[in-house]
Amino acid sequence: MQLRLLYFAWVREALGRGEEVRDFPSGVTTIADVLSALSQYDERYAGAFAAPERLRFALDQVYAGPETPIRDGGELGIFPPVTGG
C-alpha cells in the first residue's frame, strides 16, 4: 500500500519535510493506521501526531476523517485546521 503524503503548516515544520512517498504494510488500512505506523518509525512523527484531534486530513484532496480507508496510490494530506480567508 503506497501513499503520497503531504504535510502543511506546523506539521511540515515539525517533520522537516513537505512531501514524501511511503509504503505501508497490509494491516494499515485507514488514515488513523497511517498515523500510528508513521509514529512508530520516527520520534518527529510521534511528536507531530501525538494529538490527532489537532490534525485534519484530506484523502485525494477531499476532507476525510481518521477512520476513512486509504487506497493504494492515493494522496494523503495531513495538516492543522485551515486559517485562510
Partner 1 sequence: MADRVIETRVQTAPFDAGAECAALVRDGIVGAVVSFTGHVRGSAGDVLELQHYPGMTEGQIAAIADEAARRWDLTGGLVIHRHGPLPVGAPIVLVAVASRHRGDAFRAAEFLIDWLKVKAPFWKKEGDRWVEAQAADDAAAAGWQ
- Of 9, 21, 67, 69, the one binding partner 1 (CB under 8 A) is 9
Least Cβ distance, residue 1 to partner 1 (angstroms): 21
Helix (H, G, I), strand (E, B) or coil at 52: helix
Q: Does 57 bind partner 1 (CB under 8 A)?
A: no
Residues 10-29 that bind partner 1 (CB under 8 A): 10, 12
For partner 1, the closer CB: 25 or 84: 84
Q: In this structure, are residues 34 and 70 in contact, taking their beta carbons and an 8 Å threshold?
A: yes
Dihedral angle computed from the Cα positions of residues 18, 67, 26 and 17, in that order, rounded to the nearest 10 degrees: 10
